[in-house]
Amino acid sequence: MKKATKKEIQAIKEILIQNYDNAVTELKYKNLYELLISVILSAQCTDKRVNLITPKLFETYPDVSSLAMADLDEVKQIIKSCSFFNNKAKNIIQMAKSVMEHFEGEIPLDEKKLISLAGVGQKTAHVVMIEYSQANLMAVDTHVFRVAHRLGLSKSETAIKTEVDLTKAFKDNLHILHQAMVLFGRYVCTAKNPKCDDCILNAYCKSKEGFKAR
């Protein structure tokens, strides 16, 4: 599959920004605490499912301090319809405990500090920082990965390397482009039966037959 040229990359960038300049996450949250929990729960789980789970979770544990004191079995019960709920329940409680112990109860908006928390990897940290503070970062989920490869923006086989490729290709406005590629991949450039006839980037697609998302 051919890689996109610099001219094509610039055109793709402009089209995405023009069409998705106000794009934000579809996760529902009111503050940084709720955003971080939602993003952690969304790993290998749909935003729609997370949004069904979190109202009860946030009602029961409205802040970091209450979650740090939470009963593990109760948290598991609340989030049991979420994938990998056992590990996620342990992680969000441990995350809250760490925030209370090491960050005076304030969730840090620093990449290294965020990654030090249980359940928070690079992608999760980036998604939180992109959404909450419009950080010039890229995060690669299954949708972004698929779109990046179909458009020839990356040939890398891992999400981390694809993130590097996209960051080098786009350079700025990464917070907009991340959200744009998520929504574009979720609703237009889907894994199965992509809506090619309605695609605003059809002219730049390098894989008209489709690309299997990893």
pLDDT tens-digit readout, 128-187: 999 999 999 999 999 999 999 999 999 999 999 999 999 999 999 999 999 999 999 999
Please check the confidence at residue 207 and state whether its pLDDT lies above 90.
no
> 10 and 49: one domain?
no
- pLDDT digit string, tens, across residues 8-37: 999 999 999 999 988 889 999 999 999 999
Given 83, 113, 133, which residue is the final one in a domain? 133
Q: Are 128 and 170 spatial neighbours (Cβ–Cβ below 8 Å)?
A: no
Q: Are 55 and 41 spatial neighbours (Cβ–Cβ below 8 Å)?
A: no
- Report the domain count for the chain: 2
> Catalytic residue positions?
123, 141
> 56 and 126: one domain?
yes
Alpha-carbon distances, residue 118 vs 1, 61, 90, 115, 201 (angstroms): 38, 17, 9, 8, 38
> 127 and 145: one domain?
no
In this structure, what CATH number is given to the domain that contains residue 102?
A: 1.10.340.30
> 129 and 145: one domain?
no
Please check the confidence at residue 214 and state whether its pLDDT lies above 70.
no
d(CA 187, CA 200): 12
Q: What is the mean pLDDT of residues 70-81?
A: 97
Residue 90 belongs to what domain range?
A: 32-133
Residue 38 belongs to a domain: yes
Query: Please, what is the angle between helix 32-41 and helix 85-102, to 10°?
Result: 150
pLDDT given for residue 212 in this prediction:
42
Please check the confidence at residue 211 and state whether its pLDDT lies above 70.
no
Residue 19 belongs to a domain: yes
Q: What is the mean pLDDT of residues 83-94?
A: 97
Please check the confidence at residue 213 and state whether its pLDDT lies above 50.
no
In this structure, what CATH number is given to the domain that contains residue 196?
A: 1.10.1670.10
What is the pLDDT confidence band of residue 208, given thresholds at 50, 70 and 90? low
Please check the confidence at residue 97 and state whether its pLDDT lies above 70.
yes
Q: What is the mean pLDDT of residues 33-52?
A: 96
% residues pLDDT > 70 (the chain): 97
Instruction: Tell me what the pLDDT averaged over the chain comes to.
Output: 94
What are 35's two structure tokens? 């955003």
> 185 and 125: one domain?
no
> 124 and 148: one domain?
no
